[in-house]
Amino acid sequence: MAIEDDVVVIGGGLAGMTTALSAAREGSRVRLLSHKESTLRFASGLIDVLGYVEGEIVSNPFETISALPDEHPYQKVGEDGVRAGLALFDSVADYAGDHTDRNALVPTFGGRIKPTARYPKHTAPGLASDERDTLLVGFETVVDFDAPVAAEHLRETVPFDVRGVTLSFPGEFRTDAKITRLAHALDKNERVEIGSSENVSQSEPVRIALAEKIKPHLGDAERIGFPAMLGEDHPEDVRATLERKLDVEVFEIPMGPPSLPGMRLEAQFESALKEAGVRITTGNPVVDFESGDNGEISAVVVERNGAAIPFHGEQFVLATGGLVGKGIDSDREGVREPIFDCRVPAPEDRYEWSEDGAFDNHAFARFGVQVDDELRPLDSAGEPEFENLRAVGGVLGNCDVSAEKSASGVSLSTGTVAGRKASDEVNP
Amino acid sequence: MSEKEAESRNPSELQDVFSGEPMDLRPGSDDCYKCSTCDTECPVAEVDDDFPGPKFQGPEQWRLKRKGDHDIDDSVMSCSNCMRCDNACPSEVPLSQMHNTARGKYVDEQMSKLSREYIRNRILSNYGRLAPLASKFPRLTNFVMGLSVTKFVNEKVMGITSQREFPDFATETFTDWWEKRGGKATSKERAQEARTKRGDAAENDDKRVAYFHGDYSNYNTPEVAKAMVRVFEQFGYEVAVPDQRCSGTPMFANGMMDDARRAAKFNIETFAALVEQGYDVICSCTSCSMALRQEYPELYSFDGTAKVAANTFEALEYLRVHEDLEGELADSSVPESEFGELAYHAPCHAKNQGLDGQAVELLSALDGTDPVDVGDSCSGISGTYGWKSEKYDTSMKIGDEMFEHMEDVESETGMTECPTCAMQMNHGTGYDIRHPLEVLDSALVN
């Protein structure tokens, strides 16, 4: 009858994809429901586990987990869960950082340093712990990255020389050309016009033209940092050509959306999900559920302009994100989890939800569902809301993942553990 | 529905607090936070550097227009209405609705009604009005349309590309076949027989569907429509085939909003009356279902619009929700020589409805066929778009990725739900293209 799977995962971000993969690898038939394209394309592509605790930078997340409050998601899954999450990630993505437990320090596009556990190979030569002199290259039309400003900020914290230069991207692209358009031009090494001689226009492959533009600015730099746009499908080839022509190492600085490292990671997850046999349905939101005779969830319902389609399963995992991801909703009256109406505790007086300063310690940042050690959402009596529902990633409360720099780690660890547990319930 | 969703869905009911004017598309425009994800998903922007992309066409152009001193940019006519931007947006900005509105305004106010472009677009988007005539003399039409002199004239005079072969008109339309077969009464009998065979009650008013076949499966691919009827009857459904007009998809895409409005009104009135009686509406073309389910409620408020939208489904989607389709397919087979490996392309309008995975999922269980998804790129034809001389190259460039992936598939048969995607798939690779309903027909109907 109908559309039926063992485990149904709601949410197609990092937490949802991790859960689905984890459950499928344990042998379950898994359905992943995602309202829209994966949120990974909005993510930097860095995998943070724990970067800050109470404002202090963390050098080794694993030594710090035990100091977190008991209700923190990391305490629910334990150090083993966090390690399992990273192991799953390492099996999917071709990333650097798995050689150590310690955080790496990655320069950001604003010229800050971010502690992170895993980073794309294309970002690796740029680490701040590496003391080689650096040139940052930005482009006039890629306005999200101002290389001279980023270099100026970086100089305040790093022990090496950093300079920044803004160039025009070679070729005659639109002033508002999308970052993906430029990335694809580099992927394909399209020929671009580089001026004319004796009235005959001259053209060159874009990677070569780019290297030629940079040469006069190279100076003593031993590595060059670009905004993350060096190809979507063939970043290795783009970097290799630039490195050969410039004779220095080339790296990428993670950027905001639309994020090429995020898209590349999304592609890697998608092929892992496909290989594991996960059935993905995208395009409509889950808005409701149906319950069986024993009070358990029997199906979740997606809706499109009034037409409701049920997806049946034995086990369900909620991976819909936090306030920004719309997994948690709020209005003047209160805060709720909109699909299952799981309890989300919040002060009754909404003026207590936030503090005055933008970067203060806000209560709202820790809003989310409360879970037991099985990761099942709990009601106000401390009992599981449903026996067959788990929650993972951003929808979980009791952690401020933005301040902690722990969003990816929470998604990976809770997703891996919940996927395994859900699958174990179906195939004991 | 959250308060916010309610706002973005019923903008016509909202008022500007200062002017008292209707809010129109304002809330949708305000929801855009410029993440540019739509631009990275736009297949036209990907291959056409002159096209500024959906973020401009939608929220930015809408703002520019607020003061009334800006014309609509003519690049809006280069939008192919694939609607992938809708699916990419994380913030519920009604991009395709904005594009449809802007395009309609552009055609109304800025395009000369005597221009070749207008006349050509009007003809292309009203294919459903010309098809009845052509199908009266199908062999003659097919002969004339295939002549090089016809193509020459089309190219030079009309701006319709001579690169493509016109689709053949069937010698018998689906509706002729349907009437000859005995219409609704016969369908009822067959459904009752099937129910009895399945051990269900012979009388069952819940198992009634109204088929929106659209023009293409009526005039050009009646085998798809016949398959729909046979498959649904096999599961015990009585099929009704009411009079209907074009869904409006090609009219929206060409900004012919008056034509679209007339067609939509007719369809909504017809199908709302059937929904009232307990029928669900079934489509076999994903652009038709897209129109009934999304474009109609976004653009019109005729009585019954919402009801039709809420009760319209794609054929496979409906069967898979209400029947054990997967189980029955797992116990069946199709001739491998006829189907075998199928290079499946998911139309953009299937993707936008969340239906892009179902054909491969379901048919994988079936013996004698092995559907292979050829990736999530757009086919590039987008209905009438790829028929225009000036858009032909763009259309083929967009299609390149799909053609390549199709060539990787061993056999030379493709599959898709959209008739114009099928044209493009055939045009780019020479493959024979089938509809999933034809596979179901072969597998499940005796």
Span B41-93, pLDDT tens digits: 999 998 898 999 999 999 998 888 877 778 899 999 999 999 999 989 988 89
Average confidence score pLDDT of chain A: 95
Average confidence score pLDDT of chain B: 91
User: Residue B378: its pLDDT value, please?
Assistant: 95
Chain B residues closer than 8 Å to A263 by CB = 40
User: Residue A274: its pLDDT value, please?
Assistant: 95
Which residues of A lie closer than 8 Å to B, measured between beta carbons?
Answer: 1-3, 36-37, 39, 41-42, 173-174, 176-181, 184, 257-258, 263, 279-284, 287, 302, 304-307, 309-310, 329, 331, 338
The share of chain B scoring above pLDDT 70, in percent, equals 94
Chain A residues closer than 8 Å to B364 by CB = none
* Closest chain A residue to B292, measured at CA: A305
User: Residue B21: its pLDDT value, please?
Assistant: 66
Q: Which residues pair with A106 in a beta bridge?
A: A114
pLDDT tier at B106, thresholds 50, 70, 90: very high
Of B36, B310, B322, the CB nearest to A307: B310
Distance of alpha carbon B125 from alpha carbon B246, whole angstroms: 9
* Closest chain A residue to B41, measured at CA: A180
β-pair type (B312-314, B280-283): parallel
* Closest chain B residue to A337, measured at CA: B2
Of A173, A257, A331, the CB nearest to B37: A257
Provide the terminal-to-terminal Cα distance of chain B, rounded to the nearest Å: 44
User: Residue B7: its pLDDT value, please?
Assistant: 40
Chain A residues closer than 8 Å to B311 by CB = 306-307
User: Residue B4: its pLDDT value, please?
Assistant: 41
Chain B closest CA to A165's CA: distance in Å?
A: 25
* Closest chain B residue to A34, measured at CA: B354
Distance of alpha carbon B316 from alpha carbon B46, whole angstroms: 31
Whether B90 and chain A come into contact, CB under 8 Å, resolves to yes
Q: Is A177's CB within 8 Å of B49's CB?
A: yes
pLDDT tier at A197, thresholds 50, 70, 90: confident
List B residues 35-74 in contact with A (Cβ-Cβ < 8 A).
35-37, 39-41, 45-46, 49-50, 52-53, 56
Chain B residues closer than 8 Å to A184 by CB = 46
Of A1, A179, A258, the CB nearest to B324: A1
A217, B6, B12, B28 from B20: Cα distances, Å: 57, 19, 12, 18
Q: Is B49's CB within 8 Å of A304's CB?
A: no
Q: Is A287's CB within 8 Å of B49's CB?
A: no
Whether B309 and chain A come into contact, CB under 8 Å, resolves to yes
Give me Rg for the CA atoms of chain A: 23
* A63-67, A329-333, B9-13, B434-438: segment of lowest average pLDDT: B9-13
Q: Is A36's CB within 8 Å of B90's CB?
A: yes
pLDDT tier at B2, thresholds 50, 70, 90: very low
pLDDT tier at A206, thresholds 50, 70, 90: very high
Chain A residues closer than 8 Å to B54 by CB = none
Which of B40, B286, B312, B349 to probe by mutation at the A interface, max A CB count within 10 Å? B40
Q: Is B353's CB within 8 Å of A283's CB?
A: yes
Chain B residues closer than 8 Å to A2 by CB = 320-322, 324
User: Residue B140: its pLDDT value, please?
Assistant: 82
User: Residue B14: its pLDDT value, please?
Assistant: 61
Chain A residues closer than 8 Å to B320 by CB = 2-3
- Mean pLDDT of all residues in B191-207: 91
Question: Tens digits of per-residue pLDDT, A359-408?
Answer: 889 999 999 999 999 999 999 999 999 999 999 999 999 999 999 999 99
Chain B residues closer than 8 Å to A39 by CB = 90
What ipTM goes with this model?
0.90
Question: Tens digits of per-residue pLDDT, B241-297?
Answer: 999 999 999 999 999 999 999 999 999 999 999 999 999 999 999 999 999 999 999
pLDDT above 70 for B236? yes
Give the per-residue SS3 of chain A.
CCEECCEEEECCCHHHHHHHHHHHHCCCCEEEEECCCCHHHHCCCCECCCCEECCEECCCHHHHHHHCCCCCHHHHHHHHHHHHHHHHHHHHCCEECCCCCCCEEEECCCCCEEEECEEECCCHHHCCCCCCCEEEEEECCCCCCCHHHHHHHHHCCCCCCEEEEEECCCCCCCCCCCHHHHHHHHHHCCEEEEEEECCEEEEEEHHHHHHHHHHHHCCCCCEEEEECCCCCCCHHHHHHHHHHHHCCEEEEECCCCCCHHHHHHHHHHHHHHHHCCCEEEECCCEEEEEECCCCCEEEEEEEECCEEEEEECCEEEECCCCCCCCCCEECCCCEECCCCCCCCCCCCCHHHCCCCCCCCCCCHHHCCECECCCCCEECCCCCECCCCEEECHHHECCCCHHHHCCHHHHHHHHHHHHHHHHHHHHCC
User: Residue B143: its pLDDT value, please?
Assistant: 83
β-pair type (A389-391, A315-318): parallel
pLDDT greater at residue A325 or residue B407: B407
Question: Tens digits of per-residue pLDDT, B7-31?
Answer: 444 555 566 666 666 666 778 888 9
User: Residue B370: its pLDDT value, please?
Assistant: 95
pLDDT above 90 for B350? yes
φ/ψ (deg, to 5) at A196: -135, 155
Q: Is A281's CB within 8 Å of B357's CB?
A: yes
pLDDT greater at residue B316 or residue A324: B316
Give the per-residue SS3 of chain B.
CCHHHHHHHCHHHCECCCCCCECCCHHHHHCCCCCCHHHHHCHHHHHCCCCCCHHHHHHHHHHHHCCCCCCCCHHHHHCCCCCHHHHHCCCCCCHHHHHHHHHHHHHHHHCCCCCHHHHHHHHHHCHHHHHHHHHHCHHHHHHHHHCHHHHHHHHHHHCECCCCCCCCCCCCCHHHHHHHCCHHHHHHHHHHHHHHHHCCCCCCCCCEEEEECHHHHHHCCHHHHHHHHHHHHHCCCEEECCCCCCCCHHHHHCCCHHHHHHHHHHHHHHHHHHHHCCCEEEECCHHHHHHHHHHHHHHCCCCCHHHHHHCEEEHHHHHHHHCCHHHHHHCCECCCCCCEEEEECCCHHHHCCCCCCHHHHHHCCCECEEEEECCCCCCCCCCCHHHEHHHHHHHHHHHHHHHHHHHHCCCCEEECCCHHHHHHHHHHHCCEEECHHHHHHHHHCC
Chain A closest CA to B167's CA: distance in Å?
A: 31
User: Residue B8: its pLDDT value, please?
Assistant: 41
pLDDT above 90 for B222? yes
Q: Is B37's CB within 8 Å of A37's CB?
A: yes
Amino acid identity at B150? T
A with B: how many residue pairs have Cβ under 8 Å apart? 101
User: Residue B274: its pLDDT value, please?
Assistant: 98
Question: Tens digits of per-residue pLDDT, A34-76?
Answer: 998 888 988 999 999 999 999 999 999 999 999 999 999 999 9
User: Residue B153: its pLDDT value, please?
Assistant: 81
Q: Is A42's CB within 8 Å of B35's CB?
A: yes
